[in-house]
């Protein structure tokens, strides 16, 4: 029996549908109650001869989401946007045009590239009808990893991301050369929720969205509802997970299979860590290996409800948006064929500990009613909500934090509010030192860390290679749009 590989899909002409392909694939077992859906497919752009060059257009377009026609915001007509793939030292040239009816820009989440000029500059504003060419180089020593791109125009980020604007940016590196990983089948899982009204338009998620962030009940994986993934008996499957939702957390488990974590936001960890479930805050990525070591059959990838409020006043009020959901199947893994027993890699790539910090800073995350930017305890509802870092809401003309190139700092982030805030820093990645005084269980490179109510997280971050102004913020994007963002200026040494 022939198993269809991902590459075959890439080579097919645009007119060939996944359904036609599935019909060519003889299946070893009757179709079960699991909905048979198409495999995950992406329009992919890879670098060639050291250059990744493409045109990218943000525009409203109707696309198919499962059985529904949805009027979404797209990159090149796709949701998620095209998958971009490059290698260290490649040049990137993205000729971007904004065909939306509002300003936008592009952020390259997790890439270590200049935050200024035509690089990862989130202070740019590209007006409707205008174009801008993003041009930068992936550094020679950039780690391989799962990164992504999305809009970052302050005030509109949640709306544009919720509308569908997001895409993967893969850097192939050392991790991809580890024999077991190279041999593994690979799937890209962009986790994203939508809320559609009867006409297929993005529905208004109501005033509570101001507090908890907008969330929808339609859970998609790479633009599909419950897509099919296959694994061979004895084989290895590498899942690259991205939570591209503006505010929804995902808590995933795979029936009868454990997941072996191999990479986090910033790339590989030093050796696989076995997990029974993974939690991804908005903006987070994880790569896991799955072994085809169970009885051939169908197994569900399940999202369990996750309550980011965890007590506090919001515990009850959150009900409508996320935590009253029941467990839901987001993808289905099917055994197909057999291969020689593939083992897990034992070593990945060392995560070197960082030197002791020169400086330690404190950041406090909270929310209140708008007005003077003052915290007025208990302000909960509606349009006046302001989200703050150290009591201040975002002002692009103010410099909140000044650091020096080639130094290392510890940042202590405390959440004095009542819901989780995934804290994210641009340009440089960090390591988590401790969470509520508990040391991190394994060393990992991160760029998002979720800070629960009442919790303090200590991160350690080196400022390398690039000077200039960038930002840090909460990756619940309604919080970011409502002020939970600060400016970071990296000064020359
Ligand atoms: Cu993915 Cu500043 O964000
Ligand atoms: Cu980012
Ligand atoms: Cu937040």
Is residue 107 within 6 Å of ligand 1 at its C-beta?
A: yes
Pair 244, 161: CB distance under 8 Å? yes
> Which tokens hold the place of 306?
């996750």
How long a stretch of residues is the chain? 493
Q: How far apart are the C-alpha atoms of 89 and 136, rounded to whole Å?
A: 10
Q: Which residues contact 321 (CB under 8 A, 6 or more apart)?
A: 205, 208, 209, 212, 213, 214, 215, 247
What separation in Å is there between the alpha carbon of 159 and the centre of ligand 2?
A: 16
Half-sphere CA count of 207, side-chain side, radius 13 A: 7
What separation in Å is there between the alpha carbon of 480 and the centre of ligand 2?
A: 11
Total Cβ atoms within 10 A of residue 46 = 14
Q: Long-range contacts: 436-443, Cβ < 8 Å, 24+? A: 441/273, 442/269, 442/270, 442/273, 443/269, 443/270, 443/351, 443/353
Q: How far apart are the C-alpha atoms of 178 and 230, rounded to whole Å?
A: 22
> Hunting for tokens 């072996």 — which residue is that?
260
> Which tokens hold the place of 207?
């005033």
Total Cβ atoms within 10 A of residue 96 = 21
- Closest among 72, 74, 66 to 218, alpha carbons compared: 66
Q: How far apart are the C-alpha atoms of 375 and 364, rounded to whole Å?
A: 12
What separation in Å is there between the alpha carbon of 458 and the centre of ligand 2?
A: 19
> Hunting for tokens 């001869």 — which residue is that?
49
Q: How far apart are the C-alpha atoms of 192 and 79, rounded to whole Å?
A: 10
Q: How far apart are the C-alpha atoms of 300 and 34, rounded to whole Å?
A: 9
Q: Which residues contact 391 (CB under 8 A, 6 or more apart)?
A: 364, 366, 373, 374, 375
Q: Give the atom of ligand 1 at the shortest distance from the alpha carbon of 110.
A: 1
Total Cβ atoms within 10 A of residue 443 = 17
Total Cβ atoms within 10 A of residue 414 = 17
Total Cβ atoms within 10 A of residue 427 = 28
Per-residue model confidence (pLDDT) at position 380 = 43
Total Cβ atoms within 10 A of residue 437 = 8
> Hunting for tokens 């391989």 — which residue is that?
144
Longest dimension (CA), the chain: 68
Q: How far apart are the C-alpha atoms of 306 and 374, rounded to whole Å?
A: 31
Q: What is each CA distance from 366 to 74, 308, 386, 394, in whole angstroms? A: 32, 15, 9, 13
Q: Which residues contact 124 (CB under 8 A, 6 or more apart)?
A: 105, 132
Is residue 260 within 6 Å of ligand 1 at its C-beta?
A: no
Per-residue model confidence (pLDDT) at position 204 = 79
Helices (H) and strands (E) in the chain, counts: 8, 31
> Which tokens hold the place of 481?
């749009």
Buried b (16+ CB within 10 A) or exposed e, 204-222: ebeebbbbbbbbbeebbbb
Look at strands 298-303 and 267-275 and give their pairing: unpaired
Per-residue model confidence (pLDDT) at position 306 = 86
Is residue 285 within 6 Å of ligand 1 at its C-beta?
A: no
**What one-character DSSP code corresponds to residue 320?**
G
- Closest among 286, 287, 486 to 403, alpha carbons compared: 486
Half-sphere CA count of 74, side-chain side, radius 13 A: 17
Is residue 214 within 6 Å of ligand 1 at its C-beta?
A: no
Main-chain phi, psi angles of 182, to 5 degrees: -60, -35
Is residue 368 within 6 Å of ligand 1 at its C-beta?
A: no
Q: Give the atom of ligand 1 at the shortest distance from the alpha carbon of 426.
A: 2
Give the residue whose CA is nearest to atom 1 of ligand 1.
109
Q: Which residues contact 46 (CB under 8 A, 6 or more apart)?
A: 52, 85, 86
Q: Give the atom of ligand 1 at the shortest distance from the alpha carbon of 283.
A: 1
Per-residue model confidence (pLDDT) at position 308 = 78
- Closest among 412, 391, 398, 416 to 461, alpha carbons compared: 412
Ligand nearest to the CA of 242: 1
Give the residue whose CA is nearest to atom 3 of ligand 1.
109
Q: How far apart are the C-alpha atoms of 14 and 324, rounded to whole Å?
A: 40
Q: How far apart are the C-alpha atoms of 24 and 412, rounded to whole Å?
A: 56
Q: Give the atom of ligand 1 at the shortest distance from the alpha carbon of 148.
A: 1
Weakly modelled stretches of the chain, pLDDT under 70: 1-36, 207-208, 210, 310-325, 370-383
Look at strands 328-338 and 228-233 and give their pairing: parallel
């Amino acid at each position: 029996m022939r198993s269809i590989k991902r590459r075959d899909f890439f080579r097919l002409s645009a007119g060939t549908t996944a359904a036609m392909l599935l019909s060519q694939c003889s299946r070893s077992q009757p179709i079960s109650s699991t909905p048979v859906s198409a495999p995950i497919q992406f329009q992919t752009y890879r670098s060639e001869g050291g250059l990744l060059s493409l045109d990218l257009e943000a525009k409203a377009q109707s696309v198919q989401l499962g059985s529904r026609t949805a009027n979404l915001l797209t990159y090149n007509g796709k949701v998620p946007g095209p998958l971009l793939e490059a290698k260290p030292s490649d040049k990137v040239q993205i000729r971007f045009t904004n065909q939306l009816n509002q300003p936008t820009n592009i952020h390259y989440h997790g890439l270590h590239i200049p935050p200024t000029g035509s690089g990862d500059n989130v202070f740019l504003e590209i007006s409707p009808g205008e174009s801008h060419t993003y041009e930068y180089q992936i550094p020679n020593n950039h780690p391989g990893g799962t990164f992504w791109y999305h809009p970052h125009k302050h005030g509109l980020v949640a709306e544009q991301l919720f509308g569908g604007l997001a895409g993967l940016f893969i850097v192939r590196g050392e991790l991809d050369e580890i024999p077991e990983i190279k041999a593994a089948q690979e799937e890209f899982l962009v986790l994203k929720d939508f809320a559609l009204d009867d006409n297929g338009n993005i529905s208004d998620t109501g005033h509570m969205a101001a507090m908890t962030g907008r969330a929808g009940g339609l859970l998609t994986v790479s633009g599909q509802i419950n897509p099919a993934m296959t694994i061979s008996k004895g084989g290895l499957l590498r899942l690259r997970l991205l939570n591209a939702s503006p505010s929804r957390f995902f808590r995933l488990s795979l029936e009868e299979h454990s997941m072996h974590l191999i990479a986090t936001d910033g790339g590989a960890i030093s050796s696989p860590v076995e997990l029974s479930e993974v939690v991804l805050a908005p903006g987070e990525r994880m790569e896991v290996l799955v072994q085809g070591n169970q009885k051939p059959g169908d197994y569900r990838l399940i999202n369990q409800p996750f309550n980011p409020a965890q007590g506090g006043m919001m515990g009850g009020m959150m009900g409508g948006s996320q935590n009253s959901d029941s467990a839901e199947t987001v993808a289905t893994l099917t055994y197909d064929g057999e291969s020689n027993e593939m083992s897990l890699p034992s070593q990945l790539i060392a995560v070197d500990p960082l030197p002791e910090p020169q400086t330690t800073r404190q950041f406090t995350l909270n929310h209140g009613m708008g007005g003077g930017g003052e915290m007025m305890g208990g302000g909960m509802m509606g349009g006046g909500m302001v989200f703050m870092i150290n009591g201040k809401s975002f002002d692009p003309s103010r410099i909140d934090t000044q650091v020096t190139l080639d130094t290392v700092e510890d940042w202590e982030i405390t959440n004095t509010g009542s819901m989780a805030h995934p804290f994210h820093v641009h340009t440089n990645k960090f390591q988590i030192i401790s969470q509520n005084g508990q040391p991190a269980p394994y060393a990992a490179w991160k760029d998002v860390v979720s800070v629960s109510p009442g919790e303090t997280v200590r991160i350690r971050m080196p400022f390398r290679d690039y000077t200039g102004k960038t930002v840090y913020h909460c990756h619940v994007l309604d919080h970011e749009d409502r002020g939970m963002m600060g400016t970071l200026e990296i000064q020359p040494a």
